Amino acid sequence: MKLEGATITWLGHASFLVKSAANKYIVMDPWLQGNPKCPVEYENLDQADVILISHGHFDHMGSAVELAKKTGAPVVSNFEIGGYLATKGVENTMGMNKGGTVAFGDIKITMVHADHSSGIAAEDGGTIYGGEAGGFVVTLENGLTVYHAGDTNVFSDMNIIRELYAPDIALLPIGGHFTMSPKEAAYAVKLLKPEMVIPMHYGTFDALTGTPEALQDLLEGEPVEVMALQPGVQCQ
């Protein structure tokens, strides 16, 4: 499928850079330094127009504070994570919640449900309440709709996501253990009916054993393209 001027670059794990056709940089779940799968040329990313955080786990917002401070880009997250990031010196937070939509020009970002947890690791070893885990539906200026599922199991309200937003591209975790494995992700694809699915959240740690090949096998004959991106290689 063609992205009509937009590009998607996987930065490893759940981190993505979506560049819109109007060259807006949307950075999703930035975990750059310390992410074993982040390409070295992106470890010091210093460009973002908006930063999205799906939930409070370190592997989804490990680089959020640094990237927000470098770029001044607004950070879109749930309300609780927004409050947490503010205590870390992030000035431009946009705390929201599920069902809400924020707009940046003609780009629309809607927070949707995810079936996962969201505690933030505290420096003293405890856990800070991080609200609920979510996902994002991003509709670009050219109408292309990208769903970043965050970390999640499959859930039947993915039907609602399809009916309301009809994502063209779904970024889905497949590694298992903390999220869906290919078995659940294949079911999610049948609910969401995207044109393209980009697997993520696999291979980073030994526990994340799901593979794009396994997902592809389970989707044999389904009208969907499984696009196994290499980190750093732009999909356009």
Cβ at position 175, least distance to Mn ion in Å: 8
Neighbours of 45 (CB within 10 A): 21
The Cα–Cα gap between 23 and 104 comes to 13
Question: Which of Ni ion, Mn ion, none lies near 184, with the C-beta cut-off 5 to 8 A by kind?
Answer: none
Span interacting with Ni ion, options 23-31, 51-59, 200-208, 209-217, rule CB under 5 A: 51-59
Burial (CB count within 10 angstroms: exposed 0-12, middle 13-18, buried 19+), residue 91: exposed
Least spacing, CB of residue 16 vs Mn ion, in Å: 13
Q: Which two structure tokens, joined as six digits, stand for 112?
A: 């949707």
Task: Find which of Ni ion, Mn ion, none residue 13 binds, CB within 5 to 8 Å per kind.
Answer: none
Nearest to 167 by CA among 98, 103, 83, 108: 108
Closer CB to Mn ion, residue 59 or residue 80? 59
Q: Which is nearer to Mn ion, 3 or 51 (CB)?
A: 51
Q: Which range touches Ni ion (CB under 5 A), out of 27-35, 54-62, 81-89, 189-197?
A: 54-62
Nearer to Mn ion, 175 or 212 (CB): 175
| Cβ 202 to Ni ion shortest distance, Å | 13
How far are the Cα atoms of 5, 84, 119, 208 from residue 56, in angstroms, in the given order? 31, 9, 6, 19
Residue 29 contacts Ni ion per CB under 5 A: no
Q: 85: which 2 tokens?
A: 């990031």
Sites of contact with Mn ion (CB under 5 A): 59, 151
Token readout for 174 is 């497949």
d(CA 77, CA 228) in angstroms, rounded, equals 27
Residue 132 binding result from Mn ion, Ni ion, none, given CB thresholds of 5 to 8 Å by partner type: none
Q: 213 φ, ψ to 5°?
A: -60, -40
CB closer to Ni ion out of 107 and 149: 149
CA angle, 133 as apex, 115 and 162 as ends, to 5°? 60
Candidate list 13, 19, 37, 57; residue touching Ni ion; CB under 5 A: 57
Q: Which does 49 bind (CB under 5 to 8 A by kind): Mn ion, Ni ion, none?
A: none
Output Rg (C-alpha) for the chain, integer angstroms: 16
Closer to Ni ion by Cβ: residue 24 or 57: 57
Could you tell me which residues are beta bridge partners of residue 171?
148, 198
The 116-155 contact track toward Ni ion, x by CB under 5 A, reads: -----------------------------------x----
Q: For binding to Ni ion (CB under 5 A), which residues are involved?
A: 57, 151
